[in-house]
Structure 1
């Protein structure tokens, strides 16, 4: 479904919302604003006498680059993940998709810690009851072919790298465990970075 953002918070105390798009937008303003300023300076310099036109065009080109980056960050401002009673919501910046808890055969967590800070980061590993052969425009890039989470489960599953670390990662994992049945839980394990892997291009939906 195409919506502007993740579902709005309700009265669920265990619900966790992890918005990465807005944070990236704010961080992106740090390099973008100087580029835009240089572009404006280039436009202004065109009207100055005895100004070298080539230098002005270079500055304008830099400003155009800044504008393109700003558009990119703005279009992805809704990117994020939410965990609630219905399942795991994923927004890729343009559309929203839900992986419902009752559609899953197994749920696990992979964690890793990178030096020198050794702050934990991780992913939710969601194994569906039915192999995700047509996952759709949002979820196709999350499908991974890896060793089964447990005996009897399939290799294909969704790997959702959580945009949080440390204590916020622990909260997200706790929320997921609160919503799923004990029989769905496949445990936590450590993975050495990098482990996220790449999706299968054959799963990409036709435009």
Structure 2
């Protein structure tokens, strides 16, 4: 396992308690690069305003019943998908929940406005 995407994925796995991971493939339009995401489901509550991880937080309908709405999403480009999945499967296979297909645009954006409102007045 080498490369920054694998390292980031494994650091996030170590930073938060994760009970499940799903690889999400995006429906690709002609001329678009394939973009996938690794969805990390927590064992406990997620701090939406964590100083490091807040940009990875997504609050959306779960991919499967029983999974939480709030999760971390790591964006993967096509060349990184294989190495990251291989790293997860070799290091933490017990939390692999499989793969899912979502329409183009599933990546979304972090809640920047909400983050700014919730953290206004905090010291850095």
Structure 1: 5+ residue stretches without partners:
1-14, 19-80, 90-97
Q: How many Å separate the matches in 2 of 1:146 and 1:16?
A: 31
**Secondary structure at 2:34 match in 1:** strand
**Secondary structure at 1:88 match in 2:** helix
Q: How many Å separate the matches in 1 of 2:72 and 2:110?
A: 10
TM-score (norm 1): 0.48
Q: How many Å separate the matches in 2 of 1:112 and 1:169?
A: 12
Q: Residue 34 of structure 2 is aligned with which of 110, 117, 120?
A: 120
Q: How many Å separate the matches in 1 of 2:99 and 2:40?
A: 12
| Mapped contact 2:22–2:99 kept (Cα < 8 A) | yes
Task: Please give the residue correspondences for 1:14-163 in structure 2 after superposition, counting only pairs within 5 Å.
Answer: 15-18=1-4, 81-83=5-7, 88-89=10-11, 98-100=12-14, 103-117=17-31, 120-162=34-76
Q: How many Å separate the matches in 2 of 1:181 and 1:125?
A: 15
Q: Residue 110 of structure 2 is aligned with which of 161, 174, 199?
A: 199
| Mapped contact 1:83–1:175 kept (Cα < 8 A) | no
Alignment CA distance shift 1:114-1:150 (3 Å): closer
Q: How many Å separate the matches in 2 of 1:133 and 1:198?
A: 17
Structure 2: 5+ residue stretches without partners:
none
Alignment CA distance shift 1:190-1:149 (3 Å): closer
TM-score (norm 2): 0.74
Task: Please give the residue correspondences for 1:171-190 in structure 2 after superposition, counting only pairs within 5 Å.
Answer: 171-182=83-94, 184-190=95-101
Q: How many Å separate the matches in 2 of 1:116 and 1:194?
A: 14
Q: How many Å separate the matches in 1 of 2:115 and 2:16?
A: 23
Alignment CA distance shift 1:113-1:99 (3 Å): same
Q: How many Å separate the matches in 2 of 1:99 and 1:185?
A: 12
Count of paired positions: 118
Alignment CA distance shift 1:17-1:177 (3 Å): same
Larger helix share, 1 or 2: 1
Larger radius of gyration: 1
